[in-house]
Amino acid sequence: MKLTDIEAFFATLAAVNPQPQTELAFASVFELLTAVLLSAQATDVSVNKATQTLFLVANTPQKMLDLGLTGLEAHIKTIGLYHSKARHLLQTCQILIDHYSGEVPRTREALQTLPGVGRKTANVVLNVAFGEPTMAVDTHIFRVANRTGLACGRTPLEVEQHLLQRVPAEYLVHAHHWLILLGRYICQARSPKCAQCAVASNCEFESKNT
């Protein structure tokens, strides 16, 4: 995708949705971290359903620890990999209390020391909670970036690095959400809805198939 097309691509997405938001429900940075940690290989809908009751009784690291493993698992058992996620979340809560006074750290390096928190999760927290221009490359962004020609790469890290280089600075803070929403609802894996896509005219995939 040419740089002029990239500019038009994001200008169009911005016009359609000026203030894109995560679809995870949260009311604090800790709740966001929890929701993102639980969302690995799970849908936002399933995570929101579980956290709707979980956050009523455990919305801080200490309250989460007070639940204990059995209590926490009872709230998140509808989410995939809930056994390991529960262990990681409780370990993370203990670290937050022991080393960060119960607060979520604001650097990628510190976030990635937390159990169950990888680069993608850290980037989501940095972007959504702290407004950092990070790019959390999930399956949707990886597909959209490669399919459209926006930022091709063989790994999520390659795509992330290329996106950070190619997305115009004024769009970087919201680019992560625009691309996720595009991939989730329009540029789907098996049947992309090109006829409904606002940025089809700037997409290499569409131009190759018309």
pLDDT digits (tens, 9 = 90+) for 123-138: 999 999 999 999 999 9
Instruction: Read off the pLDDT band of 157 (50, 70, 90).
Output: very high
Q: Quick one: average pLDDT of 189-193?
A: 93
Instruction: Read off the pLDDT band of 209 (50, 70, 90).
Output: low
Contact 62, 93 (CB under 8 A): yes
The answer to whether 138 is a known catalytic residue is yes
> Residue 107's pLDDT is what?
96
> Residue 208's pLDDT is what?
60
> Residue 3's pLDDT is what?
87
> Residue 8's pLDDT is what?
95
Q: Where in the chain is the domain with CATH 1.10.340.30?
A: 29-130
With a cut of 90, say whether residue 152 has pLDDT above it. Answer: yes
Q: The domain at 29-130 falls in which architecture?
A: Orthogonal Bundle (1.10)
> Residue 154's pLDDT is what?
96
**Residue/partner pairs of 197-201 with CB below 8 Å, 24 or more apart:** 198/12, 198/13, 198/16, 199/8, 199/9, 199/12, 199/13, 199/148, 201/8
> Residue 207's pLDDT is what?
54
> Residue 67's pLDDT is what?
96
Catalytic member of 77, 138, 193, 208? 138
Q: Quick one: average pLDDT of 160-170?
A: 96
Identify which of 201, 206, 199 has the alpha carbon closest to the alpha carbon of residue 13: 199
pLDDT tens across 3-42, in order? 889 999 999 999 999 999 999 999 999 999 999 999 988 9
Question: Hey, what CATH topology would domain 3-20+134-208 get?
Answer: Endonuclease Iii, domain 2 (1.10.1670)
pLDDT tens across 72-123, in order? 999 999 998 999 999 999 999 999 999 999 999 999 999 999 999 999 999 9
Q: How buried is residue 101: exposed, middle or buried, by Cβ count under 10 Å (0-12/13-18/19+)? A: exposed
The answer to whether 63 is a known catalytic residue is no
Taking each helix axis as running N to C, give the angle between helix 61-76 and helix 29-38, from 0 to 180 degrees, rounded to the nearest 10. Answer: 30
Name the residue type at position 88. Answer: H
With a cut of 80, say whether residue 210 has pLDDT above it. Answer: no
Catalytic member of 98, 120, 193, 208? 120
Dihedral class, residue 102 (left if φ above 0, else alpha if ψ from -120 to 50, else beta): left
